[in-house]
Amino acid sequence: MTTPIYYVNDAPHIGHAYTTLACDVLARFKRLDGFDVKFLTGTDEHGQKVEKSALAAGVDPKAFTDKVSQNFRDLADLMNFTHDDFIRTTEERHKHAVQDLWQKLMEKEEIYLDSYSGWYAVRDEAFYGEGELTDGPDGKKIAPSGAEVEWVEEPSYFFRLSTWGDKLLEFYDANPDFIAPQSRRNEVISFVKGGLRDLSVSRTTFKWGIPVPGDDEHIMYVWLDALTNYITGVGYPETESGEYAKYWPCDLHMVGKDILRFHAVYWPAFLLAAGLEAPKRVYAHGWWTNEGEKISKSFGNVIDPHDLVARYGLDQVRYFLLREVPFGNDGDFSHQAMVNRMNGELANDLGNLAQRVLSMVAKNCDGKLPVHGEFTDDDNRLLDAAGLLLEQLRDAIDRQSFNEGLEMVWVVIRAANGYVDSQAPWKLKKEDPQRMATVLYVLPEVIRRIALVLQPFMPDTMARMLDQLAIDPGKRSFACFGEGHSLLPGTTLPKPEGVFPRFVEEEV
């Protein structure tokens, strides 16, 4: 699976963290579930936009990209991302891959030389037709994305995109899960049905890009360059063996809704035209706003993930981003919403559950997991609900429905809290110690199952929770989820400690 490769014209913000986080959770989940995962991310370093930013910073583009690309690696460390490779489009291996793809397209006569005159938005690195534009202030023309466009006239190579419309529609038809969510699929299909024009795939008016093989006047269009990273990452142009043979076609390109057209129209067309396989799925997620406002450098409201993590904690931020909105929809970041989730669901629901259960075991059972008696219907109901979580999460994860998956876990957490209240083990100590032992066995076992399935979302805190249940690190994969790996009565547990602090508002 892949993330988009991020432009290095900017400092990384919460939107970039979000896309990679979604992939990280999927990658961790699949690895725990026994899959061989290749998870790719990186930086998109060529093009006019990056060149302009470098000029504005007064440095040459290479020095500029080296510096800013590092910020994205730092973000990955901060967020505890587990990508297997970080690709930079300025690397030799990538230049080699892109030039090879170009040559294949040339050989198949999918590319021809002509000249381009039309509108271009540097911010989007995209061409627009006259009919798509609106009038902005000062007589400027504005693209549907809100970006300003400029008039461009230059010699250019073109890709015969216009001939791929019907084949793309057939492809979407044969692969109903290729574009998700469904509403986005409909959007793409109607765009393609509207007719495709040939796509300009080279530029001559600036130099920061990969040269077109055999024509040094031209550099490649940055989107052709950038999209190719997905196959560079698996060793293209070597296709017969190695990682390409093993991992391509890729299972999932995760992208924001802003760049779906590039991934669901241009990219499969390039690949099919070159005689290569298209990816299996492209998921376009929604966008975050900040306290109701569009996030933008010019509004000064960019959310720096470093600040968020310092303030609320890493796993709290990871949880919030995937819990707050149905994946695919837009979401609004607000301090209040973050604190509500952090205090209500993490500190209260899950944190208290673990803390009070493990404290009771420490106090009433000599710090050892008690030996349980016969399970009652209430016990079995809760154990069974927790036992179903893995199957339920597998299904949600395969649909990228993160918040649905988390909600299913919270249904069990709430049921477990209800069970603590109704069984009242603190009362049983004198009345019925055997029953207390059973209740205080059932609850840690339920917590074990919850903590196992939550590992991909909150790896550090769940590791600490599993430590407190004295579960061997070798017994934390999903192969050890089932009943056969239930907690062993008599095991001594370490001293319990809370893993989810409450957020307390500072006095102003």
Task: List interacting residues with ligand MSP (CB under 6 A).
Answer: 4-7, 15-16, 18-19, 44, 226-227, 255-256, 258-259, 287-288, 295
Rounded (10°) CA dihedral 499, 353, 373, 468 = 0
Which DSSP state fits 228? T
* Pairing label, strands 126-128, 111-121: antiparallel
Distances in Å between the Cα of 207 and the Cα atoms of 111, 120, 157, 221 are 20, 17, 15, 11
Q: 276 vs 390, which CB is nearer to ligand MSP?
A: 276
- From the CB of 5, what's the least distance to ligand MSP, in Å? 5
State which residue, 226 or 442, has the beta carbon closest to ligand MSP: 226
Nearest to 144 by CA among 265, 258, 294, 267: 258
By C-beta, is 50 or 428 nearer to ligand MSP?
50
Q: Given the complex with ligand MSP, which of 75 and 412 has the nearer CB atom?
A: 75
Residue 441, judged by CB atoms within 10 A of its CB (0-12, 13-18, 19+), counts as buried
The least CB distance from residue 362 to ligand MSP, in Å, is 43
Shortest Å distance, C-beta 15 to ligand MSP: 2
Cβ closer to ligand MSP: 5 or 458? Answer: 5
Provide the 3-class DSSP secondary structure of residue 25.
Answer: helix
Q: Which one, 257 or 476, has the nearer CB to ligand MSP? A: 257
Q: How far is the CB of 181 from ligand MSP (least distance, A)?
A: 15
* 157: its two tokens: 């190579």
* CB-nearest residue to ligand MSP: 15
What gap in Å lies between CA 463 and CA 474, rounded to an integer?
12
* Shortest distance (Å) from residue 130 CB to ligand MSP: 24
Q: CA-to-CA distance for 71 and 58, rounded, in angstroms?
A: 18
Cβ proximity to ligand MSP: between 235 and 387 the closer is 235
Q: Which residue has the tokens 């399970």?
A: 375
Whichever of 4 and 387 has its CB closer to ligand MSP, that residue is 4
Query: What is the spatial distance between Cα 369 and Cα 456, in angstroms, rounded to a whole number?
Result: 26
Collapsing DSSP to helix, strand or coil, 469 comes out as coil
Least spacing, CB of residue 269 vs ligand MSP, in Å? 14
Q: How far is the CB of 57 from ligand MSP (least distance, A)?
A: 17
Residue 137: C-alpha distances to residues 129, 132, 151, 161 (Å): 19, 17, 17, 33
CA angle 249, 250, 252 (to 5 degrees): 140
Taking the complex as a whole, the smallest distance from the CB of residue 3 to ligand MSP amounts, in Å, to 7
**Contact by Cβ (8 Å): 408, 392:** yes
